[in-house]
Amino acid sequence: MKKNMGAADRILRILVALAIIAIYFTTDWLSGTLEIVLLVLSGVFILTSFISFCPLYLPFGINTCGKKNNA
């Protein structure tokens, strides 16, 4: 699995995921299906940030890593 996410992309994903989680625990803005979808999405954001790989980038040829040396 080749890395295709750069540092800025990873940090942004983690911040968005943490914001969603904070909104979930501190307010009543989210409810029902939207709540579940956003929590799953935040989990995916955190997971992809830690492994530096986003499967949705592959079909579009997106690489924010910025270097050719991929693991």
Q: 21-56: per-residue pLDDT in tens?
A: 999 999 888 888 999 999 999 999 999 999 999 999
For the record, the structure tokens of 38 come out as: 């956003």
Cα separation, 65 vs 5, whole angstroms: 5
Is the pTM for the entire model greater than 0.75? yes
pLDDT reading at 18 higher than 90: yes
Please report where in the chains the tokens 């955190």 appear, as a residue: 46
Tell me whether residue 14 is exposed, middle or buried, using C-beta atoms within 10 angstroms of its C-beta: 0 to 12, 13 to 18, 19 or more. middle
pLDDT reading at 69 higher than 60: no
Are 20 and 41 in contact, with CB atoms under 8 Å apart?
A: yes
Residue of 1 and 59 predicted with greater confidence: 59
Cα separation, 58 vs 8, whole angstroms: 18
pLDDT of the residue at 70? 52
